[in-house]
Chain A
Amino acid sequence: MRAVKKYTSFFRLRFSMGLQYRAAALAGVVTQFAWGFMEIMVFRAFYEADASAFPMTFSATVSYVWLQQAFLAFFMAWMMENEIFDAIVNGDVAYELCRPVDIYWMWFSRSAANRLSRAVLRCFPILIVAGFLPAAYRMEAPAGAAEFFLFLLTLVLGLLVTVAFCMLIYVLAFYTVSAQGLRILFVSCVEFLSGAVIPLPFFPDRMRMVMELLPFASMQNVPLRVYSGDLMGAALWRAAGLQLFWLAALTLAGKLLCRRAVKRVAVQGG
């Protein structure tokens, strides 16, 4: 519980810091807008080429793009904590292990707080302005109240799955020679398989069915589509169920490996 309190004050500090650097904040938001615009223009060009081959409604795709930008900090795999990697690589982790806090949950809540604080600063300006754009680019309201509620729920689940996966990578770094290699490999995979490069519905059907079973599809893919109603009914419940499953599986795996790694470090002396 103390960890939670520590991380609310960490969150507040980061938020303050974010506000201080107003030029950075503004530049960041404008940058994300530019990326969002370009992305939508690409989709529009493809839509105009062949609307019948488009697997989502265009407005659902627009919502996907804006939500992806707004909540970038939640799901982007490359946004990992360098400090944690450094601590593992150069042995400083020994200090962290001396403290009477569970290291797995400490790093978990720290990562989550970090992503949350970064996203909160950006998501409101982006979503608000995106709601007022001209029709072709405008972000529509959620498909309904139920959809909105489910969106929020799956959003939180998606964040937790992302953090749990990152935790697994941190823990694996204890076992590998090169944390950098591990990171590079996984970041590319996650980016592609989670729907960050192109949304999963655009993939060929058989490939998509496999991808949807992987943990990566439980990150941003679910909430960003639930919002616009692109994912609903039985498929939605299945996806949410998978999110819960992967959250449990990744956390369990991470905790177990972490415990073993801690024992190893204690024996070897870091």
Chain B
Amino acid sequence: MITMEHICKSYKVAKRDAGFKEACKALLHRDYEMISALSDVSFEIGDGEMVGYIGPNGAGKSSTIKILSGILTPDSGTCLVNGRVPWKDRIRHVRDIGVVFGQRSQLWWDVPVIDSFELLKDIYSIPDSIYQSNMEELTERLSLSELIRTPARQLSLGQRMRCEIAASLIHSPDVLFLDEPTIGLDAVSKLAVRDFILKQNEIHKTTVILTTHDMQDIEALTKRIILIGKGKILMDGTLEDIRRGDRNIDETVAELYRSYGI
């Protein structure tokens, strides 16, 4: 169970202007401004739900995910994930979550993927029996048996992403955060990834929070959508709530952003 209540977060950002004269001025004095990333963000996500978290760039999506994973501390408000405050109880909280950053890899580059998995087994202190059974299941469902002896460096993007997802599930987390999981993947790989996530949620009741710009991902995976814009939650509903006739989903979302002025 994930609850966020009245979370607020602002950042202090140095103002930097372009140009030679401005650069000289910056030598002596720096101006700062406070940017509000999140204001009064509240929502509740139940166990086993699959939620799509959407919004334009800079809306506050990554700040929310960072707070939920315990990386960032908010200025005010409360947040509980499975009864724990993420940033206060970081180590125990983090044992139960899995994170996939679409554009960054958690695998060691030059050694076979299986070596990375075994290191993760050590990091998460996973007992042998659980590791074995998880590895069997993940290898089968993601078709990894031919890949795991290959160094990550030599895998294609689609193959690597399958390994990344497996890596984030080895320790049987309750919650899975996916940040742009299908970015750059070909159509076949995208379908494979989406299929896998659906099954994962079905079999293990893993709560899934998906942030992405790919609306087909959202369509395929989630029923519930939370829309964030300029740091505020603008909508918390379903895909049906925003669909307009048989308009293309990307156009629908673009129109949605426009209507909210974000």
Q: Do chains A and B touch in the complex (CB under 8 A)?
A: yes
Q: How far is the CA of A20 from the CA of B26 in the complex (A)?
A: 7
Say yes or no for B27: interface residue by CB 8 A criterion. Answer: yes
Say yes or no for A52: interface residue by CB 8 A criterion. Answer: no
Binary per-residue interface labels of chain B (23-45) against chain A in the complex, 1 for a CB within 8 Å, 0 otherwise = 11011000000000000000000
Say yes or no for B16: interface residue by CB 8 A criterion. Answer: yes
Closest chain-A Cβ to B137's Cβ sits at a distance in Å of 40
Interface residues of A in 10-30 (CB under 8 A from B): 12, 16, 19-20, 22
Tell me whether chain B's interface is mostly helix, strand or loop, or mixed: helix
Closest chain-B Cβ to A10's Cβ sits at a distance in Å of 14
In the bound complex, residues from chain A placing their C-beta under 8 Å from that of B27 are 19, 22
Say yes or no for B260: interface residue by CB 8 A criterion. Answer: no
Nearest A residue to B20 via CB reads A16
Q: How far is the CA of A239 from the CA of B60 in the complex (A)?
A: 65
Closest chain-A Cβ to B146's Cβ sits at a distance in Å of 29
Interface residues of B in 5-57 (CB under 8 A from A): 16, 20, 23-24, 26-27
Q: How far is the CA of A6 from the CA of B27 in the complex (A)?
A: 26
Binary per-residue interface labels of chain B (155-169) against chain A in the complex, 1 for a CB within 8 Å, 0 otherwise = 000000000000000
Closest chain-B Cβ to A222's Cβ sits at a distance in Å of 34
In the bound complex, residues from chain B placing their C-beta under 8 Å from that of A20 are 16, 23, 26
In the bound complex, residues from chain A placing their C-beta under 8 Å from that of B24 are 19
Closest chain-B Cβ to A252's Cβ sits at a distance in Å of 39
Binary per-residue interface labels of chain B (203-222) against chain A in the complex, 1 for a CB within 8 Å, 0 otherwise = 00000000000000000000
Interface residues of A in 190-218 (CB under 8 A from B): none
Binary per-residue interface labels of chain A (41-83) against chain B in the complex, 1 for a CB within 8 Å, 0 otherwise = 0000000000000000000000000000000000000000000
Binary per-residue interface labels of chain B (108-140) against chain A in the complex, 1 for a CB within 8 Å, 0 otherwise = 000000000000000000000000000000000
Q: How far is the CA of A16 from the CA of B18 in the complex (A)?
A: 9
In the bound complex, residues from chain A placing their C-beta under 8 Å from that of B20 are 12, 16, 19
Q: How far is the CA of A180 from the CA of B27 in the complex (A)?
A: 37
Q: How far is the CA of A22 from the CA of B27 in the complex (A)?
A: 6
Q: How far is the CA of A173 from the CA of B178 in the complex (A)?
A: 44
Q: How far is the CA of A19 from the CA of B24 in the complex (A)?
A: 6
In the bound complex, residues from chain A placing their C-beta under 8 Å from that of B16 are 20
Q: How far is the CA of A22 from the CA of B26 in the complex (A)?
A: 8
Q: How far is the CA of A75 from the CA of B24 in the complex (A)?
A: 27
Nearest A residue to B28 via CB reads A22
Q: How far is the CA of A193 from the CA of B24 in the complex (A)?
A: 39
Interface pairs A-B: 7 shortest CB-CB: A19-B23, A22-B27, A20-B23, A16-B23, A16-B20, A19-B24, A19-B27
A-B CB contact pairs (8 Å), 12 listed:
A12-B20, A16-B20, A16-B23, A19-B20, A19-B23, A19-B24, A19-B26, A20-B16, A20-B23, A20-B26, A22-B26, A22-B27
- Chain A interface (Cβ < 8 Å from any Cβ of B): 12, 16, 19-20, 22
8 new A-B pairs (CB below 8 Å) besides A19-B20, A19-B23, A20-B23? A12-B20, A16-B20, A16-B23, A19-B24, A19-B27, A20-B26, A22-B26, A22-B27
